[in-house]
Chain A
Amino acid sequence: MKHLLILVQFQLSLVSYVFSQNLLENLQIGGNFQSDSYYYLRDSTIESAEASEKLLSNNYLFLTISTTNLNLDIRYESFQNPIIGYDPRFQGSGIAYRSISYKNDWFNLTAGNFYEQFGSGMVLRGYEERNLGLDNSFDGIKVTIEPLSGIIIKGIIGKQRFFWSQSKSIVRGVDANLELSTIFPNFFESISFVIGGSVVSRYQPDLDSKYRLPENVLAYATRFDITTSWLSLSTEFAFKYNDPTTRNKYTYNNGIGINTDISLFTSGFSVSLGFHHYDNIEFRTDREAKGLELHLNYLPSLTKQHIYSLPAFYAASTQANGETGFKGEVNYTIPPNTILKDDFETNIAFGFSRINSIDTQRIDDFTYKSKFFGIGPELFYRDYYIELRRKLSRPLELKLAYIDLIYNKDVMENEGSPLFGKVKSKTFATEIIYSFNKTHTLRIEFQHMWSKNDSTAANDDKKNGNWFAFLAEHSITPHWYFSIVDQWNYGNVNKNYRVHYLKFLITYAQKTTRLSLGFGREAGGVVCLGGVCRFVPISYGVSMSITTSF
């Protein structure tokens, strides 16, 4: 009864508050549109993906109407049918996202769909990543208050998007972010110090006839960030109570996650180090969820996302059931007219990373013993790289890179079952950028990758062995971009797969509108963004893309 009274009081005060404002003040309408289509052609040499529809198309239209205090967001999506590699359950059209929010200087209320992230996302992050076909928006209520400058408290309740329906569970969460340096400016001069904490709980009924499952699963996280003129340190610790799921094979262990990044920088020189340890910390809004469905938390990845296309075949995806790793990177800029006697600076970067399994020992079918920060014997990923960038003359810039990596393909792509073994690859890449004048620029890239699988079982993996890649891109700013890409798997152990993946791409841009047309073969593989990965099939055909914003 007491709760009800408080709620009624809250609603009455809100209504009177809202209508005392002019709601249509500063009316603005904006939005964006994106359309990606692919026309599939048959190519038996590469056994390309085929669609009986021939043409598949993903489309998104986002519209936002805002005034000083009110905001209305709506997104229409149409997948007819989803492009191969995106989950087929996206098939269909409709309003995938709609929300209305009210805000003033200290209070913000959203009803409907919303995205949210607590801290680095280790206990809660609802986000959209179209390149992955991932949309974990919430549908419910979000309240954000800022009672004092430097204090932000957020509360949410809702269900997550599951293609065209919703998760079976309800998520409740609260997050507090305290900028101590703003609240107590006298104590923190020229230093930014922020602490934060979040609590998230998921309710999913236990309908399982075999296991006794926790219906309310609670997770919490604490964090702090320190930033000065020469140092940046951020760390977050997350804990999750027992959450047996199909993905963790019904383990009743609690979960732990810790993620730390530290950077030191002076003019022209910086060092950054990172460490993370994840043990059974995956959090989803359904115990049975798999793939990219219903991720409630986000586990930041550790390794560098290599920009060159060949080493990017082997990007590490985060293993939430257990991984531990560290990384480091040093950047140094040699100023002009010092070692090299010319007017151009030289940038050098060197980095490394290593990810292993965690050290565990099984106690029984339901639990295991895990050493805190214990490093297990299995290597998941390791790389080291050196990158060099410098101008040779005013119009000519040169980039060189060497990347040496080991990628445990069984763990990353086959749920740990032995099949491919580990991939050892070394890549050398050169990039030359030449600006003819203010409008014409040519970029040429060569890459060579030596690569070997230590596969135990015989297999006809379509991507293995050595590769060569070439890219040429001519841009005529601001309107035209032409590019040609060839990736040649000349060292595949299977002679039938020693093929060129050749592709042409033309892009026309006019203000905020961009049209692209591509034709050729796509080598496919795993596309990863921040440690979250999607499998992309080998394909051959015509790609069309339109993006515009207004």
Chain B
Amino acid sequence: MKKIIFIIFLCITFWQCDKINPPYLENPTDLDTSDYTQKILLEEYTGFRCGNCPEATEIAHNLKERYPNNLILLAVHSGGYAKPTTAHPYDFRTPIGDDLDNFFGCSKAGNPNGMVNRVGFPTKSHILREGQWEAVIQELLKQKPKLNLKLSTSFNPTNRTITATVEINFLEASLPNYYLCLYLAEDSVVQYQRDDRKNPPDIENYVHNNVLRDGLTPTWGIQISESSLSPETKIVKEIRYTIPDGKDWRIPKLKVIAFVHDKDNTFEILQVDESYISP
């Protein structure tokens, strides 16, 4: 009798299993809205004297075509290959680009290379060759965003001032380490570029896109909050920036790239957005 009781006892601890069928998301309509889209920043470290760089740039552009709503590109010209020469004195370098390059060691690892959301720092796996970018992008796209970021910009031609408004929605609790960075980039800059695939390799009218120009914030950004913020918290930041005199930048080609990163910790970029300054 006792044995039977035990078998019954074991049976009542029985359970069921939940089999989930598609859709796998709680609210599938959210999928295509910007509310839950993980955007990714691909920072390409390049230089106009780098003969292998145009090929990497092409790969970056192809990736942008493949992930138009998720991928944002930024070309950082830094290191030896970006140093102007007597024949080609145009200087693409920027203090911000140099700060980033010195810190992440990208040009030292040999151009071209890039960082995808700066994932992998500080193990050195953050420096990725062009052939490695897509795999990391695909991995990141599977992850849940920790926050949502919406950037809108306006430009006042009278005082040449850009106003950038960033709306941050935390989907998970934030850390005081979260910093907001805003960089300025320009498209379609026609300048010299070496391309070793060509013979001769000198391309005088190469179109440089996504060229890092300056920061609306310092290199490492501004702190979003001194304390940890709970999920669902919404923060709005407004940042103004006046285009310095004497710059040859063309207003319709300028765009702002805003991102939040985990400063002094993993340095990983958690979310990013971009917006041209003029409609």
A residues near B (Cβ < 8 Å) are: 3, 6-7, 9-10, 13, 17, 106-107, 143, 145, 147, 153, 155, 157, 172, 174, 201, 203, 208-218, 241-242, 244, 249-250, 252, 365-366, 414, 417-419, 456-460
Given A249-B139, A458-B109, CB of A143 within 8 Å of CB of B6: yes
Asked if B9 lies at the interface with its beta carbon under 8 angstroms from chain A, I say: yes
5 nearest A-B residue pairs (beta carbon): A218-B17, A214-B18, A419-B125, A458-B109, A249-B142
B6 touches A213 (CB 8 A): no
Q: Which of A107, A244, A458 has the most CB of B within 10 A?
A: A458
Which B34-67 residues sit within 8 Å CB-CB of chain A? 36
Residues in B with CB closer than 8 Å to A241 are 17-19
Q: Which residues of B contact A212 (CB under 8 A)?
A: 20, 23-26
B234 interfacial contact with A, CB 8 Å: no
Main secondary structure of the interface of B (DSSP, over half): loop
> What are 14 A-to-B residue pairs whose CB atoms are below 8 Å?
A6-B5, A9-B5, A106-B3, A107-B2, A143-B9, A155-B9, A155-B10, A212-B26, A241-B17, A241-B18, A250-B24, A366-B22, A457-B113, A457-B127
Contact with A along B13-33 (1 / 0, CB 8 A): 111111110111110001000
Residue of A nearest to B141 (CB): A365
Contact of B20 among A6, A17, A143, A213 (CB under 8 A): A213
Contact between chains at B15 and A10 (CB < 8 Å): no
Identify B13's interface contact among A13, A153, A172, A418, CB under 8 A: A172
Q: Give min CB distance, A210 to chain B, whole Å.
A: 5
Say whether B129 faces chain A, with CB atoms less than 8 Å apart: yes
Q: Which residues between 114 and 169 of chain B lie within 8 Å of chain A, taking CB atoms?
A: 119-120, 123-125, 127-129, 132, 136, 139, 141-144
Do A10 and B36 touch (CB < 8 A)?
no
- Contact check: which of B15, B127, B142 meets A250 at CB < 8 Å? B142
Give Cα distance in the complex from A252 to B123, angstroms. Answer: 30
Query: Which residue from A145, A211, A244, A365 sits with its C-beta under 8 Å from B6?
Result: A145
Q: Which residues of B contact A3 (CB under 8 A)?
A: 12
Known interface pairs A147-B3, A250-B142; A418-B128 also in contact (CB < 8 Å): yes
The CA-CA distance from A252 to B132 in the complex, in Å, is 26
Q: Which residue of A lies closest to B129 (CB)?
A: A456
Assess the A174–B9 pair: CB atoms within 8 A.
no
Do residues A155 and B13 form an inter-chain contact, with CB atoms below 8 A? yes
Docked Cα-Cα span, A242 to B119, in Å, equals 28
Q: Which residue of A lies closest to B8 (CB)?
A: A6
- Complex contact A419–B124 (CB within 8 A): yes
Closest to A209 in B: B26
Q: Are A366 and B24 in contact (CB under 8 A)?
A: yes
Number of A-B residue pairs at CB separation under 8 A? 119
Say whether, besides A208-B26, A241-B19, A252-B20, A457 and B129 are in contact (CB < 8 Å).
Answer: yes
Q: How many residues of B contact A (CB 8 A)?
A: 44
- Do A242 and B125 have beta carbons less than 8 Å apart? no
Q: Is B80 an interface residue, CB under 8 A from the partner?
A: no
Q: In the complex, A10 Cα to B14 Cα: how many Å?
A: 17
Give Cα A13 to B2, complex, Å. Answer: 8
Inter-chain CA distance A6–B10, complex, in Å, is 11
Q: Say how far A416's CB is from chain B's closest CB, in angstroms.
A: 8
B26 & A418 in contact (Cβ 8 Å cutoff):
no
With a CB–CB cut-off of 8 A, which chain B residues contact A218? 15-17
Instruction: Assess A417 versus B3: contact at CB under 8 Å? Given A213-B20, A250-B142.
Output: no
Task: Check if A216 sits within 8 Å of B13, measured CB to CB.
Answer: no
Known: A201-B17, A217-B17, A456-B129. 16 other contacts (CB 8 A): A10-B5, A10-B6, A13-B5, A17-B2, A153-B7, A155-B13, A174-B10, A210-B30, A210-B36, A214-B20, A216-B17, A218-B16, A218-B17, A244-B24, A250-B144, A457-B113
Determine whether B110 belongs to the interface, using a CB cutoff of 8 Å to chain A.
yes
Q: Does B189 contact A (CB under 8 A)?
A: no
Taking a contact as CB atoms closer than 8 A, the residue among B22, B23, B124 that contacts A457 in the complex is B124
* Residues of chain B lying within 8 A (CB to CB) of residue A201: 15-17
When distances are taken between beta carbons in the complex, the residues of chain A under 8 Å from B15 are 172, 201, 203, 216, 218
**Are B142 and A365 in touch, CB under 8 angstroms?**
yes
Query: Residue on A with the closest CB to B124?
Result: A459
Determine the chain B residues whose CB is within 8 A of the CB of A217 once the complex forms: 17-18
CB-CB under 8 A from A17, the residues of chain B are: 2
Decide if B222 is an interface residue (CB 8 Å cutoff): no
Which chain A residues lie closer than 8 Å to B6 at the CB level?
10, 107, 143, 145
Residues of B that sit less than 8 Å from A by CB: 2-3, 5-10, 12-20, 22-26, 30, 36, 108-110, 113, 119-120, 123-125, 127-129, 132, 136, 139, 141-144, 171
Q: Is the CB of A6 within 8 A of B12?
A: yes
Partner of B144, one of A210, A417, A457, A459: A210
Specify which of A418, A456, A460 lies most central, judged by the most chain B CB atoms within 10 Å of its CB: A418
Q: What's the Cα separation between A9 and B24 when bound, in Å?
A: 44
C-alpha spacing A209/B172, complex, angstroms: 10
| A216 contacts B16, C-beta separation under 8 Å | yes
A174 lies within 8 A of B124 (CB): no
Chain A residue with the shortest CB-CB distance to B144? A210
Give complex CA distance A241, B5 in Å: 30
Q: Is B18's CB under 8 angstroms from A458's CB?
A: no
Residue of A nearest to B231 (CB): A209
Verify B26–A419 contact, CB threshold 8 A. Answer: no
Chain B nearest CB, measured from A6 CB (Å): 6
Q: B8 — which chain A residues lie within 8 A by C-beta?
A: 6
Cα distance A458–B128 when bound, in Å? 10
Find out whether the CB atom of A414 lies under 8 angstroms from the CB atom of B5. Answer: no
Query: Considering the chains assembled together, what is the distance between the CA atoms of A106 and B2 in angstroms?
Result: 11
A6 touches B2 (CB 8 A): no
Given contacts A208-B26, A210-B144, A212-B24, contact A7 B9 (CB under 8 A): yes
Residue of A nearest to B3 (CB): A147
Indicate if the CB atoms of A210 and B3 lie closer than 8 Å. Answer: no
Question: B30 contacts which chain A residues (CB < 8 A)?
Answer: 210
A417 x B18 contact (CB < 8 A) = no
A219 — nearest CB in chain B belongs to which residue?
B17
- CA of A209 to CA of B109, assembled, Å: 41
Query: Are A216 and B36 in contact (CB-based, < 8 A)?
Result: no
B135 to chain A, nearest CB (A): 8
With a cutoff of 8 Å between Cβ atoms, the chain B residues found around residue A174 in the complex are 10, 13-14
Give A4's nearest chain B residue, CB to CB.
B12
Interface contact A417-B171, CB-CB below 8 Å: no
Determine the residue in chain A with the shortest Cβ distance to B120: A417
A118 to B92, CA, bound (A): 64
Contact with A414, one of B14, B16, B23, B125 (Cβ below 8 angstroms): B125
Most buried by B among A9, A157, A212, A216: A212
Question: For A143, what are the chain B residues with a Cβ–Cβ distance below 8 Å?
Answer: 6, 9-10
A217 to B20, CA, bound (A): 10
Whole-angstrom CA separation of A250 from B25 in the bound complex: 11
With a CB–CB cut-off of 8 A, which chain A residues contact B141?
A: 365
Residue from B25, B110, B132 in contact with A458 in the complex, judged by beta carbons closer than 8 Å: B110
Q: Are A456 and B132 in contact (CB under 8 A)?
A: yes
CA distance in complex: A214, B20 (Å):
6
B146 to chain A, nearest CB (A): 11
Q: How far is the CA of A327 from the CA of B125 in the complex (A)?
A: 31
